[in-house]
Amino acid sequence: MPTTNPLPTPTATKVAPAAPRRILPDTPRTWPRGRLNEATFVLGDLGLSLLHFVSWLVAGVARLIFWAARSLARGLGRMANTLSRGRLGSRGTEIAGWVLVVVVLAGSYPTWGTVSTWVGAHWPNLRPHGVVAYKPPSSACALPRASCAAAGETLDGQPSISAVKILQVLQAYNSPAATPDFAADLYDLGIKYGVNPAYALGFFAFESQCGTAGIATTTRSLGNVRYNPSNSPVTYTQFNG
């Protein structure tokens, strides 16, 4: 007969007790999550409020336009019904009114186009009633400009104005440089450097009104831009290019 051995008796194992765990208190954070949610809520609410306001405004304008058109249609329809001696009836009166409204709007379209064109041409330079636009006085300064018009956009070119015309312009300005020698020198300098003398005269007129305005009345310098090594203004008699 087979023999059976008794099962071993399990021995109890000792388990070390678990170390106590420290419980940290949960303190709610007000930043950034709390304030961020608050700001998001405020901005979202503001956006919805603006959206509701815009939609309300658009709906209100649309209702106002429709109410005005309906009132106009009723008035025109009644007028048409009166002219037809009541032959249109209620339904015909309403239809005739809307047809007349469409005709009136279509007829006023050119007027609106004219108004918009005028506003576009004058805005934002609208002038009050009675104000006259400034017009520069006509002077001899226009003579060299008219003569230089054919020279193109470059300073280089053949003379388009004569020394006699330069002298006439300077005399018209009562310029202290209005001498035949200076006019001839200005003309000869243009030929020497290949520059149209009309541009030199125009620059002289633009800088100091040909020596009659600004500091040029005392320095007597050509355009107040040319100086000698001593840093003193070069007079008309000293200027030789």
| Percent of the chain with pLDDT strictly greater than 90 | 0
Instruction: Quote the DSSP letter at residue 29.
Output: P
Q: Say which residue the tokens 């300064």 belong to.
A: 141
* Span 108-162, pLDDT tens digits: 665 555 656 655 555 555 555 445 555 554 544 444 444 444 545 566 677 888 8
Buried b (16+ CB within 10 A) or exposed e, 18-48: eeeeeeeeeeeeeeeeeeeeeeeeeeeeeee
* Span 23-61, pLDDT tens digits: 655 555 554 554 555 555 556 666 677 777 788 888 888
Q: Say which residue the tokens 């001696």 belong to.
A: 85
Comparison of pLDDT for 112 and 216, the residue scoring more? 216
pTM above 0.85, yes or no: no
- In the prediction, which pLDDT does 186 show? 82
CA distance linking residue 204 with residue 182, whole number of Å: 12
Comparison of pLDDT for 134 and 201, the residue scoring more? 201
